[in-house]
Amino acid sequence: MDGGDDRKRGEDGGPSAGDPGVDAANVLPYARQWIDEDDIAAVTAVLRSEWLTQGPRIERFEAELARTFGVAHAVAVSSGTAALHAGVVALGLGRDGIGITSPITFAASANAFLYAGADPVFVDVDPVSGLVRVDSIEEAVECRHRAGLPPGVVVPVSLAGALPDLPALAQVCRRRGWRILEDAAHSPGARRAGAVGEFASAACVHTDAAILSFHPVKHVCAGEGGAVLTNDAAVAEQVRRLRSHGIVRKPVTASSPADEGPWFYEQHELGFHYRMTEMQAALGTSQLTKLPRFLARRRALARRYATELASSWFAEVGVASSFDEGCAYHLYIVHFHDERLRLRAYDWLARQGIRTQVHYIPVYRHPHYRRLHPMAPLDGAERFYRGCLSLPLFPAMTDEEQTRVIDALRVFVEEEGR
Ligand SMILES: *Cc1c(COP(=O)(O)O)cnc(C)c1O
């Protein structure tokens, strides 16, 4: 996933302490946070301070996020999922609206539409990169425009740290009044060259807003947490309001009783409780300073995977993507030639104490979505899903640990060849 519990030790079908032959201390996860003493000091300092929630550290974290990603506003919330929900609502999605996203993502990207009372529409992806196809989105947008339906919200997912063609997507969406919320949970620091020059993830130049997640497997860890980034002051203000029940402290309408008293507040719409704590904000701020270092390490590990797996031995069983220096490498995904090989590789690596994961089972396959929105499988998404496997990749991973993964894969290929 990401988000969720599938990487808790032993819960994702991988080896656990209970598996015979696998020493729990020797299990290599597919992802893990990297917490240093200065992160711990930042959090314990909060516990000795006056504010535990909605205090100065939230403001500081938001200011640092805005500066890092070059946006006018950042609003911190309790999770990436909360950011998606508040974000799509702030972009105008409501009951009977339409949200378009990729099926190759964590369920949260589409769940946000359901929370808002809108209908999810899944469009196809490129079978190699897993990135949503702009022409598929265009088809979905144009088809609804012809049917006389009002515009909705598109959530492009920057999968594994790679960016979809956001400038092209912006053209398609602006023409028909659709708004764009980039799911940048995988991609802080990612950039890509486009027809109109380079563009960056979460910068909100070609999109209306972006969301980040601070789950421990993501680039910046806050324990749990998320943020909505935007250059649109109205969107930021509404997310701020939605994060705290829809309550405001200053009179906002002419009918608001301004002279009520200093205790004044009033609820203007039904919001949520999506606030982040000061402890999370302090951890997030401390981790954010390390983003360049974390990114450099992720890229170095990805470069080595790409180099080693480009060799002919790996071609016997699968395809490894070539190195892309703009990619933020939340994941390094390889593609096995078929699903049986992928399953055997997963099991083989698990027996060596190496955890891998599949990102993702197409969201429309989940029983909840099958019940609500039955649809025919999408060809690109099915082809991507069939062979994909994410190898261990996280900044704290050592060269020796990576060697262990590559050597285990080499032995797997030899065994397959017998
Ligand atoms: C992690 C993730 C989310 C949700 O973030 P949480 O902080 O776990 O709620 C959303 N989309 C994608 C693509 C993710 O990987």
One-character DSSP codes across 243-283: HBTTEESS--STTS-TTS-TT--EE-S---B-PPBHHHHHH
Of 5-19, 181-195, 386-400, the least confident: 5-19
Q: What's the pLDDT at 9? A: 37
321 with 301, same domain: the answer is yes
**Strand pairing report for 191-194 and 388-391:** unpaired
Q: How far apart are CA 186 and CA 156, in angstroms?
A: 12
One-letter amino acid of 189: G
Q: What's the pLDDT at 3? A: 41
User: Is residue 12 a part of any domain in this protein?
Assistant: no
Residue 161 DSSP class: G
**H or E element at residue 71:** none
User: Is residue 7 a part of any domain in this protein?
Assistant: no
What band does 250 get if pLDDT is binned at 50, 70 and 90? confident
Report which ligand 1 atom has the smallest distance to the Cα of 213. 7
What band does 6 get if pLDDT is binned at 50, 70 and 90? very low
pLDDT at residue 312 is higher than 90: no
Q: What's the pLDDT at 21? A: 59
246 with 312, same domain: the answer is no
Burial class (CB in 10 A: 0-12, 13-18, 19+), 193: exposed
Q: By the 8 A CB rule, do 202 and 180 touch?
A: no
3-class secondary structure, 125: strand
Q: By the 8 A CB rule, do 42 and 284 touch?
A: no
Boundary of a domain, candidates 255, 273, 288: 288
Report the separation in Å between the CA atom of 213 and the middle of ligand 1, taken as the mean of its atom positions.
6
User: Is residue 229 a part of any domain in this protein?
Assistant: yes
Residue 15 DSSP class: -
Better pLDDT: 196 or 371: 371
Q: Is the CB of 277 under 6 A from ligand 1?
A: no
- The model carries a pTM of 0.94
Q: Is the CB of 106 under 6 A from ligand 1?
A: yes
Q: What's the pLDDT at 257? A: 65
Q: What's the pLDDT at 25? A: 79
Boundary of a domain, candidates 288, 305, 340: 288
Report the separation in Å between the CA atom of 107 and the middle of ligand 1, taken as the mean of its atom positions.
8
Mean pLDDT calculated for residue range 133-151: 98
Q: How far apart are CA 285 and CA 343, in angstroms?
A: 39
Mean pLDDT calculated for residue range 92-118: 97
Q: Look-up: residue for tokens 């805005």?
A: 66
301 with 395, same domain: the answer is yes
pLDDT at residue 332 is higher than 90: yes
Report the separation in Å between the CA atom of 182 and the middle of ligand 1, taken as the mean of its atom positions.
12
Q: By the 8 A CB rule, do 93 and 113 touch?
A: yes
Q: What's the pLDDT at 256? A: 65
80 with 219, same domain: the answer is yes
Q: Which domain holds residue 328?
A: 24-32+290-417
Q: Is the CB of 157 under 6 A from ligand 1?
A: yes
Q: Helix, strand, coil proportions of the chain in percent (round to 5)?
A: 40, 15, 45
Report the separation in Å between the CA atom of 47 and the middle of ligand 1, taken as the mean of its atom positions.
27
208 with 352, same domain: the answer is no
- Segment 76-90, tens digit of pLDDT: 999 999 999 999 999
- Segment 257-272, tens digit of pLDDT: 666 788 889 999 999 9
What band does 16 get if pLDDT is binned at 50, 70 and 90? very low
Beta-bridge mates of residue 211: 183, 228
Q: What Cα–Cα distance (Å) separates residue 223 from each residue in 78, 99, 109, 194, 287?
A: 10, 28, 20, 34, 11
User: Is residue 356 a part of any domain in this protein?
Assistant: yes
Of 247-261, 350-364, 403-417, the least confident: 247-261
Domain count, the chain: 2
Give the chain's length: 418
Q: By the 8 A CB rule, do 305 and 333 touch?
A: no
3-class secondary structure, 132: strand
pLDDT at residue 10 is higher than 50: no
Instruction: Using a pLDDT cut of 70, give the percent of the chain over it.
Output: 93
pLDDT at residue 202 is higher than 90: yes
284 with 324, same domain: the answer is no
Tokens found for residue 52 = 């535990």
106 with 226, same domain: the answer is yes
Instruction: Using a pLDDT cut of 90, give the percent of the chain over it.
Output: 87
Q: By the 8 A CB rule, do 249 and 81 touch?
A: no
Among 215, 283, 360, say which to mutate for ligand 1: greatest number of ligand atoms within 8 Å of CB.
Answer: 215
Q: Is the CB of 109 under 6 A from ligand 1?
A: yes
Tokens found for residue 147 = 């049917």
Whether the ω angle into residue 265 lies within 30 degrees of 0, i.e. cis, is no
140 with 198, same domain: the answer is yes
Mean pLDDT calculated for residue range 2-22: 44
Closest of 309, 298, 326, 321 to residue 394, by C-alpha: 298
Q: Is the CB of 186 under 6 A from ligand 1?
A: yes
Q: How far apart are CA 405 and CA 20, in angstroms?
A: 20
Among 79, 84, 163, 213, say which to mutate for ligand 1: greatest number of ligand atoms within 8 Å of CB.
Answer: 213
Report which ligand 1 atom has the smallest distance to the Cα of 84. 10
333 with 216, same domain: the answer is no
**H or E element at residue 64:** helix 56-69
Tokens found for residue 33 = 């946070």
277 with 355, same domain: the answer is no
230 with 315, same domain: the answer is no
**Is the Cα dihedral 219, 72, 49, 272 positive or negative?**
negative
Q: Is the CB of 226 under 6 A from ligand 1?
A: yes
Report the separation in Å between the CA atom of 44 and the middle of ligand 1, taken as the mean of its atom positions.
26
